[in-house]
Amino acid sequence: MIKVIVCGAYGRMGQEVIKAVSKENDMEVVGGIDVRGVGDNILGVVIKDNLEAVIREKEPSAIVDFTKREPAIENIKIGVKNNVPVIVGTTGFTQEDLAELKNFIEENNGRVLIAPNFAIGAVLMIKCAELIAPFMDNVEIIELHHDGKLDSPSGTSIATAKAISEKKKFTPAVYSSEARGKTVEGINIHSVRLPGLVAHQEIIFGSLGQTLSIRHDSISRESFMPGVIYALRNIDKIKGLVYGLDKLLFPGGLVI
């Protein structure tokens, strides 16, 4: 039985994780951690605020974190110190954060997966973009999220830009300004934040006389759950710090 503690259990993503894990015959949620709703019962899970105490009490197989940047960093370190693999869907980490976490995880023989997007379709979108990149002249990314998302550009759009740039180095056709968005790896990214949205991204390639667009839409938070469940079932494949769900989906790399 895979025993799971959910950090951010009171939030919308945390509740989706509790619901999804509870449906699996080989998994169970043994604890929920949040600073809100302490003592409340969420889908049969009592919310507590002390992760380390719940780890000692429940001896979990894994921690799933959907919180915010600062508490997620602390939760990762607590999980690593207690020899519990951590699966992280929280975004907004800086490169400095990731470098610090990598060192901490390696020094303590930890196992952590940080994924900017758990929707399998979003991972496939990025892989398609890698295939297209060498054959086109320019590319821009439009990412659209709900108005509660704090970080911008999104972790998915940054990961997309970096993946594309590994296949081909691009220079923007028109350089970005503050009004247009931000430029990552030579690729302009435009961020939209509106109520009614969940998580959406469009990659638009342009070349002489043509454009090619790839779009992925998460129309509900359920879209992220198959990726979370897949990661939980493959926690033994996580060694050190693994960044991106694609590293588990395509452990040998995708030849394109």
Question: pLDDT at position 67, please?
Answer: 97
Q: Is 48 a catalytic residue?
A: no
The domain limits of the chain are: 2-114+222-249, 120-219
> Considering 19, 102, 145, 182, which one is annotated as catalytic?
145
Question: pLDDT at position 178, please?
Answer: 61
Low-confidence ranges of the chain (pLDDT < 70): 176-180, 252-256
Q: Is 200 a catalytic residue?
A: no
- In words, the CATH class of domain 120-219 is alpha beta
Question: pLDDT at position 74, please?
Answer: 97
75 in Cβ contact with 65 (< 8 Å)? yes
Question: pLDDT at position 180, please?
Answer: 66
In 3D, which of 118, 122, 123, 112 has the Cα closest to residue 17?
A: 118
In 3D, which of 157, 149, 160, 164 has the Cα closest to residue 221?
A: 149
> What is 2-114+222-249's CATH superfamily?
NAD(P)-binding Rossmann-like Domain (3.40.50.720)
Could you tell me the pTM of the whole model? 0.88
> Considering 3, 23, 149, 162, which one is annotated as catalytic?
149
